[in-house]
Structures are given as C-alpha cells and as structure tokens.
Amino acid sequence: EIVMTQSPAILSASPGDRVTLSCRASQSVSSSLAWYQQKPGQAPRLLIYGASTRATGIPARFSGSGSGTEFTLTISSLQSEDYAVYYCQQYIEGPKTFGQGTKVEIK
Amino acid sequence: EVQLVESGGGLVQPGGSLRLSCAASGFTFAGYWMRWVRQAPGKGLEWVLRINNDGSSTAYADSVKGRFTISRDNAKNTLYLQMNSLRVEDTAVYYCAREFNGYFDSWGQGTLVTVSS
C-alpha cells in the first residue's frame, strides 16, 4: 500500500498570503495525484487531478505541481473561503490512499 | 448537475447491522465506478469499498472485509452499503463518491453512522 504523507499538519496564514502544502508518496505515483478541499461539516471537493489540472469551477489561485513522489498545492492569494483541510490522494494503484490532511487556519 | 444523496445512517449497537443508500442523479450512473469513503470523527478520509460500473467487481478495505458489502442497482440509480457486525470503530460519516479515472470527482453530503451501546 502506498503511504501518503502531508506536511505541515497545520498551517497558519493570513488572507492574501501565498501558501504551499506538501504531499509525499512512499513510492512513485507518476502524476496520479489528486487534491481535495474539505470545509467543516461538508463533503470533500475535488480541486486538482493529474497533479496539476484544476477541476471544473476551481479558481485559478489554486495550482498543483510535482510528479513521482513529491507534490505541492499552492494557493497564490489566500481567501477567507479557503480556510479548510486539504487532502492529497494517490490513484495510480491499489487502495486509493489519502494523506492525513493539512489544516489551513487563520493566523 | 451531478447529485449523490446518502441516507440510512443512525445509531446502532455494536454487533448490529445497517444499510446505507446513495441515490444518484444528473449523470449516467451505470457508466461509473462508485466508492464508499468514510471519515471517523476528527479524522481523515478512508476508502472502504469500491464497485465497478456493472456490479461484477468489488473491492474492500481490510478493515471491513467480511462484514460490509457494496452493491448497486443501476435501474434505480442507487448504490448500497450493507454493514453487518458493526464495531465502535466503524463510527464515521460515510460518503458515497463517483470515481473517474481513479480519482473521486463527485461526493455526496455524507451520512453519520454511530456505533455505540
């Protein structure tokens, strides 16, 4: 089973900040990496798939990069509605494992 | 608009059973693999079951193997999760999700299952 590790666990940032979240896979997942956003009391929402392709309706301030084992999700200018938990997920093989999440909170 | 609406959650005693449903609309349900993903209180996401588009192939996480069963009725556009021999550690919000090319592009709002005496 591929283990996904996200860092940091909690990220404190102010509106307007540029923030970068990291996700590492225990073995190569090529570009088979997705990012999800989850707000309190809501279901996860797909943000990014294929490591860098934004899902339908996702604002351009969200961008993904990386391949192999190292990935990043960048929010170019943090908005109030972006405070949430972000999960990465690999889908190259076997169980579609998730990272443990990064919580983006207000500084 | 794609919609997935779960139902059937509730409070059940350890060892009990529960059946969840997920009603799909806004897309050709029979054309997609589907998943159940759960989230224990304050924890992360864990996929637990998967079913292919015609129901002929399923996959289970080790944590639920032998106790949970996933099925679907394409004529009714509905996904099911039969949960037997429930344990306290099965307490979670259960989401149904549509799988597309391996990732999950649409999610239901979730239904809470609480296993407690």
Residue range B93-117, pLDDT digits in tens? 999 999 999 999 999 999 999 999 9
- Compute the half-sphere exposure of residue A69: CA atoms within 13 Å on the CB side of its CA: 7
Candidates B35, B51, B63, B104: best to mutate against A (most CBs of A within 10 A) is B104
**B47 closest CB neighbour out of A43, A95, A100:** A95
Distance from CA of B39 to the nearest CA of A (A): 10
Identify all chain A residues contacting B106, using CB atoms and an 8 Å cutoff: 46
Is the pLDDT score of A103 beyond 90? Answer: yes
Buried b (16+ CB within 10 A) or exposed e, B51-69: bebeeeeebbbeebeeebb
pLDDT at A93: 86
Residue range A81-93, pLDDT digits in tens? 999 999 999 999 8
**B44 closest CB neighbour out of A45, A96, A101:** A101
- Biggest CA–CA distance in chain A, Å, is 38
Percent residues over pLDDT 90 in chain B: 100
With CB atoms and an 8 Å threshold, state whether A98 touches B101: no
Question: What rounded mean pLDDT belongs to chain B?
Answer: 97
Residue range A23-68, pLDDT digits in tens? 999 999 999 999 999 999 999 999 999 999 999 999 999 999 999 9
Identify all chain A residues contacting B105, using CB atoms and an 8 Å cutoff: 46, 49, 55
A47, B107 contact by CB (below 8 A): no
Give the pLDDT band of residue B61 (cuts 50, 70, 90). very high
Residue with tokens 């351009």: A60
**A98 closest CB neighbour out of B45, B95, B108:** B45
Identify all chain B residues contacting A99, using CB atoms and an 8 Å cutoff: 44
Residue with tokens 């089973």: A1
Residue range B63-95, pLDDT digits in tens? 999 999 999 999 999 999 999 999 999 999 999
With CB atoms and an 8 Å threshold, state whether A100 touches B61: no
Is residue B89 classed as helix, strand or coil in its secondary structure?
A: helix
pLDDT at B15: 98
For residue A46, the chain B residue with the least C-alpha distance is B105
Percent residues over pLDDT 70 in chain B: 100
With CB atoms and an 8 Å threshold, state whether B104 touches A44: yes
pLDDT at A97: 95
Please give the Cα distance from B115 to B79 (Å, whole number): 22
Give the pLDDT band of residue A95 (cuts 50, 70, 90). confident
B21, B7 contact by CB (below 8 A): yes
Is the pLDDT score of A14 beyond 90? Answer: yes
Question: What rounded mean pLDDT belongs to chain A?
Answer: 97
pLDDT at A94: 81
